[in-house]
Amino acid sequence: MGYVVKNFSLDSALRYMYDTLRYRRCKLTAIEFEHRGRKYRVDTPREAAELQALLERQDSERGRERSSLWSADKTLEFINGLGEAQREFLTVLSHSGNVASETMLDALRLPSAVALAGVISGLSKQARKLEVNPHDLYVVEVEWNGKKKARSFRMLESFRDSLIELGWPDDWKEEKRSK
């Protein structure tokens, strides 16, 4: 008579689900988002919101753990090792909550996003030199609008607090003018 499969309940269930979705014109889509450079994929908006809330809670807990990372000495050593463009980058971030990459390009008077990447690379190199993760300075937030990608930068509170303790950037600018 032909080929007989004794255990085909899974095949039948999958075929039934596929037919039901196809005839009711349902679309299956996954929600994908990026957080701190890692991609996450979930099936429902509810799962996306719950996962995002969990990741943000973890970030804030890590932030509390890292608050002792930026001592006044380490912050001073970090700033003294930076170039002028990196210091300007930090100055712009310290005065604003969230800075779009286009705004940063204008503020630093840079010709392109490639030049901005060079400034950020200098920050990262100095951070690694002090055995600090660049993610302990600032975060890059990425938002997609259709096919267009928008980046923004936000300084972490623990690092901002250590800069404020040193009088950054106002006291530093006064010191530079007096020289």
Two structure tokens written together for 24: 């009711």
Two structure tokens written together for 145: 């609008």
Task: At 63, give phi and psi (nearest 5°).
Answer: -60, -40
Give pLDDT, residue 144. 80
In the chain, what percentage of residues exceed pLDDT 90?
25
Radius of gyration for the chain, computed over Cα atoms and rounded to the nearest angstrom: 24
What's the mean per-residue pLDDT of the chain?
80
What is the CATH code for 70-178? 1.10.10.10
Say which residue, 165 or 114, is predicted with more confidence.
Answer: 114
In the chain, what percentage of residues exceed pLDDT 70?
82
Q: How confident is the model at residue 13 (pLDDT cuts 50, 70, 90)?
A: confident
Give pLDDT, residue 42. 81
Q: What distance in Å separates the CA atoms of residue 78 and residue 130, rounded to the nearest whole number? A: 7
Give pLDDT, residue 88. 93
Give pLDDT, residue 122. 92
Domain spans in the chain, listed from the N-terminal domain onward: 8-66, 70-178
Over range 113-124, report the average pLDDT: 93
Say which residue, 139 or 8, is predicted with more confidence.
Answer: 139
Q: How confident is the model at residue 10 (pLDDT cuts 50, 70, 90)?
A: low
Give pLDDT, residue 167. 85
For residue 128, the one-letter residue type is R
Q: How far is CA 30 from CA 1, 24, 57, in A?
A: 42, 18, 23
Two structure tokens written together for 149: 């990608």
Residue 104, Cβ neighbours under 10 Å: how many?
22
Give pLDDT, residue 117. 92
Give pLDDT, residue 130. 86
- pLDDT tens digits for 46-104? 888 888 888 888 877 665 554 557 888 888 899 999 999 999 999 999 887 789 999 99
